[in-house]
Amino acid sequence: MAAASRGLLSAVRLASRLAPGSSASRSLSSAAAAATADLDGAASRVLSAEPREMSAGSRRAGAIAVKCGMTALWDKWGARVPITILWLDDNVVTQVKTPEKEGITALQIGAGQKKEKHLSKPEVGHFRAQGVPLMRKLREFPVTEDALLPVGTTISVRHFVPGQFVDVTGITRGKGFQARWDEKVGIQRNACITRCFAVT
């Protein structure tokens, strides 16, 4: 039974949940439990999306967003505060990584939608095995044990608290040939660096 695929085991578990009163479902559920024990070697952890008590050292999952633009707001003293507008595009937990299985505690978050023809077969198989929709971007966020979320949990703006500080990582928009030129001096930056090294 160690060669059984995870898809087969999840189908057996699903069939056992659909008809809880039948004797066939009891034998299927015991077979699935035995197969799971053979494959994993340890009892699998059941995660729930209930609110938990977070400690000071807790590290939560982030979100994948698209920068829409910038604007400004004014506070009660009349000071202008620049803000960035971000769009969270269907953030869903696609995989939970635990120390027992992968050796780390992390959440894989997917964002956006993508057609099957634009994904590779391993990516499509990964999404189908987890039972989540096909995603455009995948990122992994290391978290603490108390911040684990079950697969399929949607992460929206309610994941964050107003006034909370966040770390933002992004990719600079490409500027092509013009990025090589220094606006003040009017010469190429690379040439300036080599010239500076040559002088010293």
pTM over 0.75: no
- Spatial distance between the Cα atoms of 29 and 98, rounded to a whole number of angstroms: 24
User: Which residues have C-beta within 8 Å of that of residue 151, sequence separation ≥ 6?
Assistant: 93, 94, 95, 96, 130, 131, 132
- Spatial distance between the Cα atoms of 169 and 75, rounded to a whole number of angstroms: 26
Identity of the residue numbered 54: M
- Spatial distance between the Cα atoms of 64 and 186, rounded to a whole number of angstroms: 37
Cβ 32 vs Cβ 44: under 8 Å = no
pLDDT (0 to 100) of residue 154: 93
| Alpha-carbon distance values, 177 to 174, 181, 185, 188, 194 (Å) | 9, 8, 16, 10, 19
pLDDT (0 to 100) of residue 37: 46
pLDDT (0 to 100) of residue 117: 95
Residues of the chain with pLDDT under 70: 1-51, 177-200
Smallest Cα–Cα separation from 97: which of 130, 65, 121, 57? 130
pLDDT (0 to 100) of residue 18: 52
Q: DSSP label at 178?
A: G
In the chain, what are the domains? 6-40 (no CATH), 65-167 (3.30.160.810)
